[in-house]
Amino acid sequence: MKPANALPVAAAWDVSRVREDFPLLGRPMRGRPLVYLDNANSTQKPRSVIDTESRFYAEQYANIHRGVYLLSQEATVAYDRARARVARFLNARSDREIVFVRGTTEAINLVASSWGGANLGPGDEVLISAMEHHSGIVPWQMACEAKGASLRVIPVDDGGELILEEAERLFTPRTKILSVIHVSNALGTVNPVKELVAMARARGVSVLLDGAQTISHRAVDVQDLDCDFYVFSGHKLFGPTGIGVLWGREELLDAMPPYQGGGNMIELVTFEKTTYAPLPFKFEAGTTNIAGTLGLAKAIDYVAGLGYDAIAAHEQKLVDRLLAGLSTVPEVRLIGRPKERVGVFSMTIDGVHPHDAGTILDLEGIAVRAGHHCVQPLMARFGVPATIRASLALYNTAEECDALVAGLRKCVEVFRG
């Protein structure tokens, strides 16, 4: 049944067919159809990804890069092919530029610790933005504290966009690296990263881009972006948890010291000295998430099969529909109205705490995030302790947008009564 005041349903791609690929979307929630709108937090997994991981453990499992027996060799080949798939996906120049990590957080920590440890010194500056996720703030704070450097922050305007004039002013001769989120996990803002990279390039400043929120919505070409590091997490790309990617320019990665020590990242160990393995193994100490890596490659295949242009067209219809629907609930305040965005919306409701709203929506079968979304400085910038965040993905529908609007209206009614 359509919610009251629902808008007409626009023509869309075959979203019902897409949804069939995601088993969990068919699960009822509290006796209602599940409306999953927490995709900026983590995306659901298609059956092909689930089956790939399950099959590996059931039929193919062995450790990699260690055994001479056939099973280990087969697992090694599959793992190496997954790395090559990620390299093609990002248009990396070489497989050696792809480092597997646990996720975006570990990738940024790796760069902040290894690159930062080797390149930052007293008085140097790290430039980030006011909309960074905590994983784009805290690792750089730690690196600055360790090296006597300082953190500078590009401000955000009332519309939820970076102020480029201020960014230009904040670059100084002491700026060593710009680390900025590509797409905001709280506001959905698509940042003008190519302009920011050009500013940095003109000054000889290195650039890290956080693509955690980009990778499920838009194609990424690291050579076209001209950055030095690009990072993302598998679980936000319809892939497994516990796997992510650090792409880095080969010459930079080659010059950086190891992040962790142990097996797999060495060539020769003696009690007097250790020599390290070549890229990318220098940064992959211990047994990595082999099954997760294969699942990530399969997730990339899945998204590539649908096509980013088709995904973007479908999601834009949902964005337009949800914006129109939200405008019919005057008590809802949307935080930020960027000119270019993906389907991530943070909002408050007059007189309703976000956690209460999240609970009411949950009773309707609607899954959203309520909290500070790991962007407490950004929440402070907009004068709110927390928001309700709804985030869209390729399997969401126009009817689900309408259900959210109806759920928000119910939140108003509950607290008004």
Which residue's entry shows tokens 């629907």?
325
The encoded tokens of residue 181 equal: 């989120």
Q: State which fold the 15-43+307-416 domain adopts.
A: Aspartate Aminotransferase, domain 1 (3.90.1150)
Q: Are strands 229-233 and 244-248 parallel, antiparallel or unpaired?
A: antiparallel
How open is the CA angle 98-103-106, to the nearest 5 degrees?
90
pLDDT of residue 12: 52
pLDDT of residue 7: 39
Q: What confidence tens digit (pLDDT) does each residue in 281-324 have? A: 999 999 999 999 999 999 999 999 999 999 999 999 999 999 99
Percent of the chain scored above 70 by pLDDT? 97
pLDDT of residue 417: 63
Instruction: For 50-304, give the CATH class.
Output: alpha beta
Report how far residue 135's alpha carbon sits from residue 133's, in angstroms, rounded to the nearest whole number.
Answer: 5
Q: What confidence tens digit (pLDDT) does each residue in 190-206 have? A: 999 999 999 999 999 99
Residue 203 three-state SS: coil
Amino acid 368 reads V
Q: What is the mean pLDDT of residues 264-293?
A: 95
Q: What is the mean pLDDT of residues 65-83?
A: 95
Average pLDDT, the chain: 95
User: Residue 1 pLDDT > 50, yes or no?
Assistant: no
**In Å, how far are 17, 92, 182, 353, 407 from 23, measured between CA atoms?**
12, 33, 30, 32, 24
Q: What confidence tens digit (pLDDT) does each residue in 315-359 have? A: 999 999 999 999 999 999 999 999 999 999 999 999 999 999 999
Q: Where are the alpha helices (DSSP H) in 327-397?
A: 354-363, 376-381
Q: What confidence tens digit (pLDDT) does each residue in 114-134 have? A: 999 999 999 999 999 999 999
User: Residue 2 pLDDT > 80, yes or no?
Assistant: no
Binning pLDDT at 50, 70 and 90, where does residue 3 land? very low
Q: Which range has the worst mean pLDDT, 176-185, 261-270, 309-318?
A: 261-270
Q: Do domains 15-43+307-416 and 50-304 have the same CATH topology?
A: no
Q: What is the mean pLDDT of residues 213-232?
A: 98
Report how far residue 263's alpha carbon sits from residue 284's, in angstroms, rounded to the nearest whole number.
Answer: 9
User: Residue 66 pLDDT > 90, yes or no?
Assistant: no
Which sequence spans correspond to the domains of the chain? 15-43+307-416, 50-304
User: Residue 392 pLDDT > 90, yes or no?
Assistant: yes
Single out the catalytic residue among 144, 227, 374, 411.
374
User: Residue 5 pLDDT > 60, yes or no?
Assistant: no
Is there a catalytic annotation at residue 144? no
Return contacts of 361-364, CB within 8 angstroms, 24+ apart.
Answer: 361/388, 361/404, 361/407, 361/408, 361/411, 362/29, 362/30, 363/30, 364/30, 364/32, 364/35, 364/403, 364/406, 364/407, 364/410
pLDDT of residue 11: 43
CA atoms within 13 A on the CB side of 241: 4
8 Å CB contact between 205 and 192 = no
The encoded tokens of residue 100 equal: 């597997």
